[in-house]
Amino acid sequence: MKFAKYWEKQDVNVDEKQFGQPIISVWGGSNTSSEDADHNAQKRVASLNAFMASDFTEKGDYEYWVGFVREELLEEVKAPDDTVLAVLTRNHYGALVLNTDVALFGDIDVTPPSFIERFLEKFGKTKKDKGYYLKKIEAYQAAHPDLSFRVYETHSGIRFIETSRVINSQDPIVTSLFKDLNVDPLYQHLCHRQACFRARLSPKPWRIGMARPASRFPRCNENEMTAFRLWLSGYEKASQGTTVVKHLASFGARRADATVQRVIELHDRHACLRSGTLA
């Protein structure tokens, strides 16, 4: 998992026509020290110079050069042998995120049907709603009895956890399983690149009447930090009465792998409340 405890910044003058701004901040991360983070930032300045000299023109593409995921690391959850089971972070729009490389998570987006799809449903075309994907997971497990799934409803789709054994993001099974169950290809790509699976644990702010935070981690001055603390207080109050997931069903073996079970308990404690509006 690519998360850093220390962050340092280097500001670089860039071509405003290419990046949409005259200065871009290059962040270096490290789990060793601030000095090492600064050294990594300087190395990334060199990478940025190479990036600008290449054919890439979108500043968003530069995110792939930073190495670490630029999110606030809130907590590391460890096994008795000190192995990291999961990392809790806060993402760029302020939501709490579970990151793990020992339990396979997958999210399936269920988009509202188009006019044509609704029309065709009247003539027998399969309606691909949440129930459709729940049955798809059930059928997949029946065809792969060595696997087991815990399935949840989300605001806009389905989330599942494979519970039978530890599966990391680089396991060859991930590609075929995600493809067969219609997991978003971008999510799969990010899991592979970040060397972990991710699951959001708290609401998206716009679903609870909140704007995104005005600044992004790491925050550089007291004004930004004060503003974020105020935002976070409002976000936590607005989150009351909501839940990110609701448990729908489990397929396969009743007992989960012991390591995976610890991650499930962590996930459910934060994201799966008995009552609440999905957000």
Ranking 56-70, 220-234, 239-253 by mean pLDDT, the lowest is 56-70
pLDDT digits (tens, 9 = 90+) for 145-190: 999 999 999 999 999 999 999 999 999 999 999 999 999 888 888 8
Query: Which pLDDT tens digit goes with each residue over 69-116?
Result: 888 899 999 999 999 999 999 999 999 999 999 999 999 998 765 545
- Phi and psi torsions of 136, nearest 5°: -65, -40
222 contacts: CB under 8 Å, gap ≥ 6: none
Dihedral, CA of residue 188, residue 215, residue 5 and residue 63, to nearest 10: 40
For the cut 70, the answer to whether the pLDDT of residue 67 exceeds it is no
Confidence at residue 51, expressed as pLDDT on a 0 to 100 scale: 60
pLDDT digits (tens, 9 = 90+) for 13-36: 766 665 666 776 777 777 888 888
Cis ω for the linkage preceding 218 (within 30 of 0): yes
Average pLDDT taken over every residue of the chain? 86
247 phi/psi in degrees, rounded to 5: -65, 130
Tell me the DSSP string of the chain: --B-SEEEEEEEE--HHHHSSSEEEEEEEESS-HHHHHHHHHHHHHHHHHHHHSS---GGGGGGGS-SB-SEEEEEEE-TTS-EEEEEEE-TTS-EEEEESSSEEEEEE-PPPPHHHHHHHTTT----SHHHHHHHHHHHHHH-TT--EEEEEETTEEEEEE-SS---TT-THHHHHHHHTT--HHHHHHHHHHTSEEEE-S--GGGGT-PPPSS-SSP-SHHHHHHHHHHHHHHHHHHTTEESEEEEEEES-SSPPHHHHHHHHHHHHHH--SS-EE-
Residue 205 has pLDDT above 80, yes or no: yes
* Confidence band for 42, pLDDT divided at 50, 70 and 90: confident
Query: Do residues 138 and 178 touch, judged by C-beta distance below 8 A?
Result: no
Query: What is the pLDDT, as a whole number, of residue 247?
Result: 97
The pLDDT, as a whole number, for residue 53 is 65
Band (pLDDT 50/70/90 cuts) for residue 264 is very high
Give the sign of the dihedral formed by CA 161, CA 175, CA 66, CA 204. negative
Q: What is the mean pLDDT of residues 41-63?
A: 59
Cross-strand bridge partners of residue 73? 89
